[in-house]
Structure 1
Amino acid sequence: MNAGLQIGDVRIAGRVLMAPMTGITDLPFRVLASRLGAAYVATEMVASAELARGRPDVVRRAAVGGGLPLTVIQLVGGDPEVMAEGARMAEKAGADIIDLNFGCPAKEVTGAACGSALMRTPERATAIMAAVVAAVSRPVTVKMRLGWDENSHNAAELARRAADLGVAAVTVHGRTRKQFYTGIADWGAVAEVKQAVSIPVIVNGDIITAEQAREALTLSGADGLMLGRGVYGRPWLAAHLEQALADGTRLQEPGREERLAIVIEHLRGSVAFYGLPLGLKMFRKHLGWYIEQAPWPDDPLERRAAKARLCRLETPLEVEQALSALWRPAVDQFSNSGVENLPQLVEAAR
């Protein structure tokens, strides 16, 4: 596997990318995943219209901070001029790459003629790409699906239009919008997109293991791959998968002490960024995934009970102590340290 991926004038130090995910890839998660070795972690999906209006929670989704080797801001919207304005704001905020969302299947997004609904209106999608490319100097990329449904696979044609307009790369999720996340991602169908354009093509969907990553790259011929739901509770996955692909080995998972340190770092980063009590509330879904993904305790029923118990705790210190007790004998440097003296890298996220 090659050492990296070139997107416009940006060199990415790897070919395993992390997808933009609403409610997941906030700044604390991106800082942590980057610190663990991820070469590319996109922001949450950012609504251009709300970003232009300065809505606080939307601006926060596009937040940039220290500890990030690369800033990728993903925009969603259906109006070319509003998307162009959002792109200009993203560039001013420090975006290295601006990604356009033509793939989100959520009803609240497609119902507003955005996300994967734009694959049903290729002329509008083309107008959006043209407006954004003209508005900024940074590389513009597009994330899409195979098409709206099985009868309208038009990703290759949309990718051709993108390349002709100056879009620097496309990512294709191997499902249609109608499939949402059911069935199995069709990596082979992405090969048609790769054959249609000379710009980098990134394959996405159902990639969790090194074996799946190798197969997805082989079947699609893609230049890189993008991880989505597989990173839930595993912010180290991109870096570890990159290593496994490079040396031909199986994926290595963190041990008890390393995993405990990662989770606590994430908790503290969330508290530093959002404050209390919001920081703990935002972290709870991640905590649940961390517990589900860990092999300790051995009994799944025990893990499920522990998840329910820990996700009801009301202070960060209680979470640290309970998690330390769950996974291993108490670790002094974590269990009694509270949330003061936050790591410098998450302090930069304020």
Structure 2
Amino acid sequence: MQGNTLSIGPYRLPNNLFLAPMAGVTDRPFRQLCRRLGAGMAVSEMITANKALWASKKSLLRANHAGEPEPRSVQIAGADPKMMAEAAKHNVDQGAHIIDINMGCPAKKVCNVMAGSALLQDESLVASILESVVNAVDVPVTLKIRTGWDRDNRNGLTIARIAEQSGIQALAIHGRTRADAYKGEAEYDTIAEIKAAISSMPIIANGDIDSPLKAAEVLNKTGVDGLMIGRAAQGNPWIFRQIIHYLEHDKLLSSPSVAEIRQILIEHLENLYDFYGDFSGVRMARKHIAWYSKGLRNGNAFRQEMNLLESPQQQVDFTRQFFEQLQEQQDIQAA
């Protein structure tokens, strides 16, 4: 087994692993962390095509890519071809090297305005949006979809052919339909079918890739060019280096030590405070701390107490204390 590199337009990525765009999760601090720990590319949180919201604090933070390695991929969402083209141009002007179009999000508030995966119901509108965005910018345009609207309407292959004709330069497919949301298990047969039919652009598989073994299984089953990891990277950003190591050496890399997890988490927290400021940073940090501590001894009590803390220093001190206790317990058991 080999980990492969992959190109999108003029950009040759260091490997074929992608951090999936996740609203409220894949902000700049998390993207930078995942890139450092092995992700070949990290796509931004979704930015709306609604011009009225571009100046909002949330949109400005989502569009902040200062200090990130190239290429920087910005995901846009909307249902109007003209507005999507304007959003693409705006984000390229702000420094995006790649524009990614969201037709995969199953969230009701997105689908209720016929954006995200709701668009898969209207194939002519999909074509209009893709052509409009591709023609509006001089950078590569990529697309994220699901396998279809529901299990009776798995039209992923039709959408992939539309994407190919429209000039899309990479296609990521989540192995569930819009109706499935995140329930059940991802299916990879539709992704394999699309990969077999489409040779003009990289095809990237997404959905339930939560370990090096699963990554290898999905690559072998689908023949795709790349893998996209979302929820499995939450609190587990080293999953990218573990997958790379397994694909290249056919051996599992050991999990990070308690000391390394503590170091990664504290650096992550400090970057969140720098990025959001103390008040919002503390609140954003809580969910990441919960993910990192999931499955750790006394993790539940740690999370409950952490949620009562209000300052960055309190969070960092309590995190350090918790992991030092874990280390002591490990040392005692090993003695």
TM-score normalised by the chain length of structure 2: 0.93
Aligned with 2:189: secondary structure?
A: coil
Give the Å deviation of 1:5.
0.6
Match of 2:262 among 260, 263, 268: 260
Compute the displacement of 1:252 (Å). Answer: 3.1
Matching residue of 2:119: 118
Residue 210 of structure 1: aligned partner: 212
Match of 1:336 in 2: none
- For the residues of structure 1 that align with 2:316 and 2:97, how far apart are their CA atoms? 35
Moved over 3 A (4+): 50-53
Match of 1:272 in 2: 274
Q: Matches of 2:236 and 2:321 in 1, distance apart?
A: 20
CA contact (8 A) 1:5 1:12 kept: yes
Q: 5 Å matches for 1:3-42?
A: 3-42=4-43
2:310 is aligned with 1:314: yes
CA 280–50 in structure 1, closer or farther in 2 if over 3 Å, else same: farther
The Cα offsets for residues 88-129 of structure 1, whole Å up to 9 and x where unpaired, read as 111112112111000111111110000001100011111000
Corresponding position of 1:227: 229
Aligned to 1:237: 239
Q: For residue 276 of structure 1, what is the amino acid of its counterpart?
A: D
Letter in 1 for 2:115: C
* 67 and 133 in structure 1: CA distance in 2 versus 1, 3 angstrom threshold: closer
Report SS of the residue matched to 1:41.
strand
Partner of 1:129: 130
Match of residue 300 from structure 2:
304
CA distance in structure 2 between the partners assigned to 1:307 and 1:46 by the alignment: 30
Alignment of 1:83-94 (within 5 A): 83-94=84-95
One-letter amino acid matched to 2:245? Q
- Identity, % of aligned positions: 37
Query: Contact conserved, 1:19 with 1:42, CA < 8 A, in 2?
Result: yes
- Displacement of 1:68: 2.6
Aligned to 2:216, the other structure's residue is in SS state: helix
> 1:3 offset after TM fit, Å?
3.4
Q: Confirm or deny: 8 A CA contact 2:173 2:203 kept in the other structure.
A: yes
SS at match of 1:142: strand
Q: Is the 8 A contact 1:287 1:311 kept in 2?
A: no
Q: 1:94 to 1:79 in 2, by over 3 A?
A: same
Comparing 67-76 with 83-92, which one deviates more in the overlay?
A: 67-76
Give the RMSD, CA atoms, in angstroms. 1.6
Structure 1 unaligned segments of length 5 or more: list them: 332-350
How far is the alpha carbon of 1:7 from its aligned partner? 1.2
Are the aligned partners of 1:210 and 1:251 in contact in 2 as well (CA < 8 Å)?
no
Tell me the SS of whatever aligns to 1:113: coil
Deviates more, 1:55-64 or 1:97-106: 55-64
CA 1:232–1:2 in 2, change beyond 3 Å: closer, same or farther? closer
CA deviation after TM superposition for structure 1 residue 251, in Å: 4.3
8 Å contact from structure 2 (residues 156, 190) kept in 1: no
Shift of 1:241: 1.5
1:146–1:190 CA contact under 8 A, matched in 2: yes
Letter in 2 for 1:305: A
After TM superposition, give the deviation of residue 187 of structure 1 in Å: 1.4
SS of the residue corresponding to residue 328 of structure 1 reads: helix
Equivalent-residue separation in structure 2 for 1:225 and 1:51 (angstroms): 34
Counterpart Cα distance in 1 of 2:53 and 2:319: 41
Matched, 1:102 2:98: no
State the match for 1:289 in structure 2.
Answer: 291
CA contact (8 A) 1:30 1:68 kept: no
Change in 2 beyond 3 A, CA 1:80/1:241: same
Which runs of 5 or more residues in structure 2 are unaligned?
328-335
State whether residues 235 and 289 of structure 2, in contact with CA within 8 Å, keep that contact through their aligned partners in structure 1.
yes
CA offsets, 1:175-223, max 9 Å, x none? 1111111111001221111122111100000001111111111111111
TM (normalized to structure 1)? 0.89
**Does the CA-based 8 Å contact 2:278-2:312 persist in structure 1?**
no
Matched, 1:327 2:328: no
Aligned 1:42-191 pairs, distance under 5 A: 42-50=43-51, 53-191=54-192
Task: List per-residue Cα deviations over 1:143-191 (Å, max 9, x = no partner).
Answer: 0000001111111111111111110010111111111111110012211
State how far apart, in whole Å, the 2-side matches of 1:101 and 1:131 are: 14
CA contact under 8 A between 2:130 and 2:166: conserved in structure 1?
yes
